[in-house]
Amino acid sequence: MKKAGIVVIALICIGVICGGFFYVSKHHKPSVDDTKLTEVQKVIGKNLETDYPETPREVVKFYNRILKCYYSEEHTDEEMDELVDQALALFDDDLKANNPKDQYKTSVETDIAQYQADSKTIAQYDVCDSNDVLYKKDNGSDVAYVSASYFIKENGSYSKTYQTYVLRKDEDGKWKILVFYQTEAPDTVEE
């Protein structure tokens, strides 16, 4: 009889704990900070030390999120500085050597001012499919070619531009942007 009483009390305690957990989880309202992050805050909040993009395509996708923040989102001077840091973290050492932070930031700010003067924004971007990434060896290094396209909105009309990104795998196995350049519309690859 004593054992049955202990079992009943244990079941009641478990029920109260489960019920309390259910109630709290259903009635917990997310804080304003959880739901109101801007895209800029999401991009600068990504820890690239622990959560670096694994593929060349993912690196370019994240870089394009940064570009969209530069040209199409509102941001403070401090956020701009952090966006630049995020972009530089994706650059290969050779590209960083040719684009020191201050020089790169000034160049981007000049481009942003020109975009604003021309009423331009990046309406949408697209990165090629994983199957379309071209992998090669160059002087013993693994390199990858990734194509991206951009829809630019200017005074109510749209234009499309294309860029190719060349990424190189560093000694830590991370894909870094070595160079990028504007291209014509990509040709269809026939096998």
- Predicted confidence (pLDDT) per residue in 66-78, tens digit: 999 998 888 899 9
Percent of the chain clearing pLDDT 90 (strictly above): 63
pLDDT at position 190 is 38
pLDDT score recorded for residue 119: 87
Tokens standing for 117? Answer: 């003067």
* The pLDDT of residue 133: 94
Domain ranges of the chain: 34-183
* Mean of the per-residue pLDDT values of the chain: 86
CB 161, CB 152: distance < 8 Å = yes
Which position has the higher pLDDT, 34 or 65? 65
Contacts of 43 (CB under 8 A, 6+ apart): 62, 65, 66, 69, 83, 86
Domain 34-183 sits in CATH 3.40.50.20: no
What is the predicted pLDDT for the residue at 72?
82
What's residue 90's pLDDT? 97
**Within 13 A of 124's CA, how many CA atoms are on the CB side?**
5
- CA separation for the pair 146, 144 (Å, rounded): 6
Provide the pLDDT for residue 14: 73
